[in-house]
Each structure stands twice: as C-alpha cells, then as structure tokens.
Amino acid sequence: MNAQPITNFIKHHFRHFNAAALVEAAEAYRRHLDSGGKMMVTLAGAMSTAELGLSLAEMIRQDKVHAISCTGANLEEDVFNLVAHDYYERIPHYRDLTPQDEKALLERHLNRVTDTCIPEGEAMRRIESFILEEWMASDARGERLFPHEFFWRILDNPRLQANYQIDPKDSWVLAAKEKRLPMFVPGWEDSTLGNMYAGHCITGDIKHVHTVRTGIEYMIELANWYTETSVTASIGFFQIGGGIAGDFPICVVPMLHQDLRRENVPVWGYFCQISDSTTSYGSYSGAVPNEKITWGKLAVETPKFIIESDASIVAPLMFACILGW
C-alpha cells in the first residue's frame, strides 16, 4: 500500500498555478526545517472553527511548528469546539438564508460562521464560567498572565476535561499547551472572551484590567523569543490569511533593527502566505512577498510563496505534504 497517498497524489496532480505553488511552498517548508530552521505559523480567519486542529495539532506534536501567532477568535474557537462539538450545527445552504432565518438562529443562541453555528450556551458560556474563575483568582492574587496562559490553565481542569467532545489530539491549542509552544495573541480584545473580560471589568468582578497581559507585552515577549531563537536557527513565517495575526509578528524584525538599532538581526528565512486578498486594493494582507523587502522583513534571497486560494483547503493539504501523509 502507498505509504504517502496524499503527498504522492498532490505531487502528481498539482503541477501548475496555485496548485504548483502549494507543492513548492510545502517542499521549501520541509527544506527549511531539515536545514535546522524553525517555523512560526500565524492563524487568521476562522481556521479553528474550520477544525484545522485535525492537521495542525499533529504538525505541532511533530515539531513542524515552533511558535504560533493567532487571533483571539482562533484561540478560543479551538477550545469551544473541544467542549461543544456535538452541539454545533452546520448550515450547508447558508447562502439561501433570509434575514428571518438568521434571526431564528440568533433566538436559538446559535452564532453563525459561514456554514457552521457555534452554540453560545454550550461553548462560549461554558468556557466563560471556567476562565472567569481563573481571571478572578489571578486578579485577587495580583497575578498577571497572557490570554493563552489562562486557556492553558483551564485545560488542566478535570471538570473541563470531562466535557471534551472530540478526540483531544485534534485540538491544536491542547497540543500547543503540551509542547509549551511560544504563543502570541495580538488584539485578543477583539474576541468573544475578550468582550466578556471587558464586561467583568465593568461590573467589578475583575478589579485590575491588566490582569490579562497586553499586546505590547506580547511584542516584547516576541522580540525576546526571536532574538534568542535566531541566534542558532533561521526562522520561517507561514501565514494563513491576513490581518493582525500575521501583521503583528512579522514586524518584530524591522522593530529590532530599526527601532532598537540592533545590528545583524536576521530577517525571516522563509515566507509563505495563503491568501485570497487582492493586491490592487492596497491591503497589506494582499501584498506580494516582495513588498516586504522594502519594510526590512524579508531579503532578496528569502524563499517566498503566495498561494491565492482557500486556506481551509490549502493548509491541510500543505500540512499533509509536510507530514508525509
């Protein structure tokens, strides 16, 4: 039986255009790791609700990912799925929904993300009840933690573990916790739990707003991680989607060089983005990789790839190639 059926199929059939770019980017990713390099993966969009953990978690376990930058939504939605998967509802004909249909979903407390509805009570409120305990306990102790560290704490809670509804090996956040993976969650405030945290600060349940550490502190941590790691390894950048999850961490290189005036700061050693953003609109997310040379993020010789396609299709296929599936 073929030992690598998915990989061999992709290499045989994906020969041109975005398909060829997928193969080339995956092979360059593997070469980067084989030469001793490290890789940061950034997650935008709704990749966790798309259950990217089915492949990303294994990438983390097999040391194919060495740091993650993600939106607050991706951080929390992986854990929502972990504890409430059986209550999710899929709406395959979501394009046909009327405004009245959407209102009916709201009345059932189902929050729709394209074709998938996240159940408020079983997912969002359940996680809120667990994480609020940790927020309040840390607040009372004068302890401050990053958003992802609070998630790691609740994942150690046996009462939460009793609610798991998927195989834990398919949760990328759980895999990251077990690896103690460096994580950065810029703009965490723009998430469901971030909104809930603000609410509990307003009501006084949480006395100190900075009990959850901030994005500026994440940048400081990122600068320290990049500085220490780049001494012995070239660091690659694999960007899924656009937005703050990618824009925030890629800027650490010019910040170290231009703002801190440090010399000999290596630029990112590999770059790939899966994107459907349009360059001509002036969006940074849609910028071709060469533009990043002008910002001091990439070098002329950096391997650069852009795959203009659907990340929910492309990312698992690339991970399959990298894993040798």
> Strands, E, within the chain: which ranges?
38-43, 67-70, 89-90, 110-113, 116-119, 183-184, 235-240, 270-275, 304-308
* Tokens read off for 247: 């824009």
Measured CA to CA, the distance from residue 212 to residue 148 in angstroms comes to 10
Residue range 204-222, pLDDT digits in tens: 999 999 999 999 999 999 9
pLDDT tier at 44, thresholds 50, 70, 90: very high
Measured CA to CA, the distance from residue 306 to residue 61 in angstroms comes to 26
Decide which of 107 and 1 is more confident.
107
pLDDT at 279: 72
pLDDT at 2: 66
pLDDT at 280: 67
Q: Is the pLDDT of residue 117 over 80?
A: yes
Measured CA to CA, the distance from residue 164 to residue 275 in angstroms comes to 32
pLDDT tier at 278, thresholds 50, 70, 90: confident
| Cα distance between the two ends of the chain | 13
Residue range 169-194, pLDDT digits in tens: 999 999 999 999 999 999 999 999 99
| Cα angle for residues 116, 122, 127 (degrees, 5° grid) | 105
- Helix/strand/coil (H, E, C) string of 55-117? HHHHHHHCCCCCEEEECHHHHHHHHHHHHHHHHCEECCCHHHCCHHHHHHHHHCCEEEECCEE
Q: With beta carbons less than 8 A apart as the criterion, state whether 65 and 39 touch.
A: yes
The whole-number average pLDDT for the span 61-83 is 98
- Burial code (b: 16+ CB inside 10 Å, e: under 16) for 166-175 equals beeebbbbbb
Q: Is the pLDDT of residue 276 over 90?
A: no
pLDDT at 138: 98
pLDDT tier at 236, thresholds 50, 70, 90: very high
Mean pLDDT taken over the chain: 96
Number of alpha carbons in the 13 Å side-chain half-sphere of residue 44: 21
pLDDT tier at 288, thresholds 50, 70, 90: confident
Torsion of the alpha carbons at 237, 239, 245 and 251, rounded to the nearest 10: 40
pLDDT at 282: 75
| DSSP label at residue 265 | P
Q: With beta carbons less than 8 A apart as the criterion, state whether 214 and 278 touch.
A: no
The residue with tokens 């990122």 is 222
pLDDT at 3: 83
Measured CA to CA, the distance from residue 126 to residue 118 in angstroms comes to 12
Q: Is the pLDDT of residue 37 over 90?
A: yes
